[in-house]
Structure 1
């Protein structure tokens, strides 16, 4: 079985909430590694970009009328996505700490794991 076939089967078996949790886990792990290892700028930028892209996807999803989350929660997620984008630039430009990005992702993971 190819890796693509396995990944396709895995995503078909997971709920959207599980997929989001896994995505947050992956990007948060990359941010934690970047914080602990002080990687080269390109690797730091890659971790930040993956995190920013995840938040952009969530923001775009929350802006569609088909999204069934409460309007208030959708607005909060969009606001967080904007903050993540702005703060990520500060990390790259000014060397701001990664911890706030890691914290917000972990909070999202806690919310997604609540059943």
Structure 2
């Protein structure tokens, strides 16, 4: 395999990974928007917040991995955002907050940045 062929495969797999991340964030956003509409059961609330929490935990683990190719500053910034998302999801679950709008907005910003 030539170096150029390897670069193409690596670039394609990176594009596929971003596409999967966008899809996962879109699912999370859809779930959060249902909560935002105000018509949901406790099961919907817990499942939606658990999904967001698990998703961001996976993203943070990937960002923290030494082989992650993003610049250190960007990785640190996204990890900080992810930790905030997890804290806010926990606050919603514990009914210490009812602000789903900010969670939707930040997840939408991150998803859209993955274009």
- Relative to the length of structure 2, the TM-score reads 0.81
Deviations 1:77-109 (A, max 9, x none): 111111111111111222421011100111011
- Mapped to 2, the partners of 1:97 and 1:29 lie a distance apart of 15
CA shift at 1:38, angstroms?
2.7
**1:101 has 2:106 as partner:** no
Of stretches 15-24 and 94-103 in structure 1, the one that deviates more from structure 2 is 94-103
Q: Which whole-Å CA distance do the structure 2 matches of 1:76 and 1:38 have between them?
A: 33
What do the CA deviations read for 1:28-83 (whole angstroms, capped 9, x no partner)?
00110121143112211110110111111110001111000010111011111111
1:43 and 2:49 correspond:
no
Where relative contact order (Cα < 8 A, 6+ residues apart) is larger, the structure is 2
Q: CA RMSD in A?
A: 1.5
2:83 corresponds to which residue?
82
Distance 1:37 1:100 in 2: 15
* Structure number, greater radius of gyration: 2
**What residue ranges of structure 2 are gaps of 5+ in the alignment?**
1-12
In the alignment, the residues of structure 1 paired with residue 25 and residue 90 of structure 2 have an alpha-carbon distance, to the nearest angstrom, of: 19
- 2:93 paired residue number: 92
* Unaligned ranges ≥5, structure 1: 1-11
Q: TM-score, normalised on structure 1?
A: 0.81
Q: How many aligned residue pairs are there?
A: 101
